[in-house]
Amino acid sequence: IKVMTKANTKAIVGNGKVEGVELMDGTIIPATLVVMAVGIRPSTALAKEAGLEVNRGIVVDDRMRTSDPAIMALGECAEVGGHVYGLVAPLYEMARVAAAGLADSEDRRFVHSDTPTKLKVTGIDLYSLGDFADGEDREEIILRDASAGIYKRLVLQDNRIIGTVLFGETGDGAWFNDLKKKATDISEMRDTLIFGQAFQGGASSDPLAAVAALADDAEICGCNGVCKGKITGAISAKGLTGLDDVRAHTKASASCGSCTGLVEQLLKLTLG
């Protein structure tokens, strides 16, 4: 796979069918198929007509209330604290916040948390999360193994993880995410941190041991916001024995599938 950066598309060329893509610098890349990934754009037309405040999305506060407190908005159309979301997990949380407000059952508020970006296509495993901007108070730990196709990068600030990139070997993504969310001081494990959870304390690499050590509130499925405790609890309480059962009852691994390995390890761990 050849990756071209700073390559701005000018036109798709061809006579009756696609024959190539022309870049702004005049370069033509021969092609018989062009695939465009353009993302999503919040639908705000109705909100604008109603006179509600709109920015990238429909602006809401941490209780999902729009600029008109009698109207709520949630989902991919909503903008909370300058953020819009396209994954299911934060949208579920928006729904919980809105439901709590409508029922007047609790003072629940939406809190932003970074959502990992995961890519698993044509044999490429990539996990990215957090902040990677340069700063004098930041430092990096990097591991490169070109022969094995592995790259790992951790960005630290005040001995706490604020950014993670994993390429080729992404199994420790959930653990690094948990350390970031809890702002864990990594000083004592700094020398072995980049090697992952299984190597803390000098232990050998054991995937099941690493998964067993994850806290129950550690997020396993980022797409649907499913934590370890919910998965293991469902396996035990409902007698689940297979991946499809776990997907049906918890939605873990039911979307992009990048957490399938972790879910299978939890099955093995729980069933013994």
Q: Please indicate, yes or no, whether residues 165 and 194 belong to a single structural domain of this protein.
A: yes
Residue 149: CATH number of its domain: 3.30.390.30
Cβ pair 110, 93 in contact under 8 A = yes
Helices (H), 42-125: 45-49, 88-103
Res 170 pLDDT > 70: yes
Range list of β-strands (E), the chain: 9-13, 20-23, 28-30, 58-60, 78-80, 83-84, 117-121, 124-130, 138-145, 150-157, 160-167, 219-221, 226-227
Residue 252: CATH number of its domain: 1.10.10.1100
Q: Please indicate, yes or no, whether residues 122 and 89 belong to a single structural domain of this protein.
A: no
- Write the pLDDT tens digit of every residue in 42-64: 999 999 999 999 999 999 999 99
Which residues are within 8 A (CB) of 200 and not within 5 positions of it... i.e. 6 or more apart? 189, 192, 193
Q: Please indicate, yes or no, whether residues 154 and 123 belong to a single structural domain of this protein.
A: yes
Q: Please indicate, yes or no, whether residues 188 and 221 belong to a single structural domain of this protein.
A: no
Q: Please indicate, yes or no, whether residues 107 and 79 belong to a single structural domain of this protein.
A: yes
Q: Please indicate, yes or no, whether residues 188 and 238 belong to a single structural domain of this protein.
A: no
Q: Please indicate, yes or no, whether residues 106 and 126 belong to a single structural domain of this protein.
A: no
- Write the pLDDT tens digit of every residue in 214-230: 889 888 887 788 999 99
Among 141, 165, 200, the domain boundary falls at: 200
- Write the pLDDT tens digit of every residue in 147-165: 888 999 999 999 999 999 9
- Domains identified in the chain, total number: 4
Q: Which of 78-82, 119-123, 216-220 has the highest mean pLDDT?
A: 78-82
Domain span holding position 155 = 117-200
Q: Please indicate, yes or no, whether residues 128 and 188 belong to a single structural domain of this protein.
A: yes
